Structure 1
Amino acid sequence: MEIRSAHFEDLAQVLNILNTVSQALKEKGINQWNDPWRAEQIVGEIENGQAFVLLNEKNAIGTFFIREVDRISEWVVEPHSMYLNKIAILPDYQGKNIGSQIIEFAVSFSRNLRKEIYLDCWAGNDKLKTFYSTHGFKYVRDVPEDNYYISVFQGK
């Protein structure tokens, strides 16, 4: 398994992963994201080095994004913190410890920058909230986001 920065050539695979995972979440009743994802939502993040891909041999099987933030939704975080978001692993590869590898990578990435790291999820996704907690993230609070709430977590 290789994790690397996404390149512009990865855009179609990143969009496919995000849209496939969005649909799978909806089918489970999890309101994590609106879809479909569009190229213009992702291109800038790839250009700014904020997008990452997980490769199994040469195929992208997952993606995630890390960017600097001063707030998540309406909640203020530590200044210039890192924000791990849009974590998506193709359904066939879920449950194989890949999410743990993403968390480890992101925590290491932010530590190397000497910055706090945060992430969030739909407040109704108890399974994901438990996953984050078992990986050392501390629940901070629920904050409103459009017509639902997100749970914010701070990294170890």
Structure 2
Amino acid sequence: MDTSLQVRLASDRDVAYIVSLIDRVQKQLTASGSLQIIGPLPHALVAEFVAMEAAFVFESPAGLLGSVFVQPATPESCPNLISWQLTACDLHPWFLQTLALEPEQQGRGLGFHFLSGVRALVAQRDPQANIILDCWAGNTKLRTFYTRAGFTLHGEFIEKDHWLAVFVQSAASR
């Protein structure tokens, strides 16, 4: 990974940035015709992720570039694990959600650096962790990105009125 790009735990001073970023990314998604919904997110919810050490930011020397939430998952905290058949006790699931990059920085390969840094931090916390994420099954661009980033499609699952594509990757993989 480019050493000028860093992934770190988000702090209280990053909460307003994350809320604003999610709003900008959601506006871009909506404008492009995507049905993917990642926000808006309330300030209090983002602050809660930060307090739980489940929020990460991606930064360069010039400033912040993105954010993501990643935390250990249980069937209680993430009930979809059951319907996704991802409850094996040796799985050590960590759920990744709300991955966002600054709209003007997208398409430059930075997402791969971001995910690599997140994977390394998760592996430090839990070397046996498997990172699980989902996206709207119709978002072929995002599905291609996750596959190119080393995630394996676990399956497609119905959620309310739409389909989700669920991906898995070992945090220890390189």
TM-score between both structures, scaled by the size of structure 2: 0.81
RMSD: 1.8
Pairing 1:104–2:113 present = no
Structure-1 separation of matches of 2:84 and 2:48: 24
2: distance between equivalents of 1:146 and 1:35?
A: 18
Given candidates 46, 53, 57, the residue that maps to 1:53 is 57
- Could you tell me how far apart the structure 2 residues matched to 1:15 and 1:131 are? 24
Q: Which residue of 2 aligns with 1:13?
A: 17
Q: Distance in 2 between matches of 1:15 and 1:122?
A: 21
Partner amino acid, structure 1, of 2:111 = G
Q: Which has the higher strand share?
A: 1
Conservation of the 8 A alpha-carbon contact between 2:22 and 2:38: no
Name structure 2 gaps, 5 residues minimum. Answer: none
Matched, 1:82 2:94: yes
On the 8 A contact 2:6/2:117 being kept in 1, the answer is no
Please, which moves more after superposition, 146-155 or 63-72?
63-72
Cα offsets for 1:22-55 (capped at 9, x unmatched): 1101111112215322112211110010001112
What pairs with 1:1-156 in structure 2 (closer than 5 Å)? 1-33=5-37, 35-57=39-61, 59-71=63-75, 73=80, 74-77=83-86, 78-79=88-89, 80-112=92-124, 113=126, 114-156=128-170
Q: Please, which runs of 5 or more residues in structure 1 have no aligned partner?
A: none
Q: Distance in 2 between matches of 1:108 and 1:3?
A: 9
TM-score, L = length of structure 1: 0.90
Q: Which amino acid aligns with 1:46?
A: V
AA at the equivalent of 1:124: G
> Secondary structure at 1:70's aligned position in 2?
coil
Equivalents in 1 of 2:56, 2:111: separation in Å?
Answer: 13
The one-letter code matched in structure 1 to 2:84 is: W
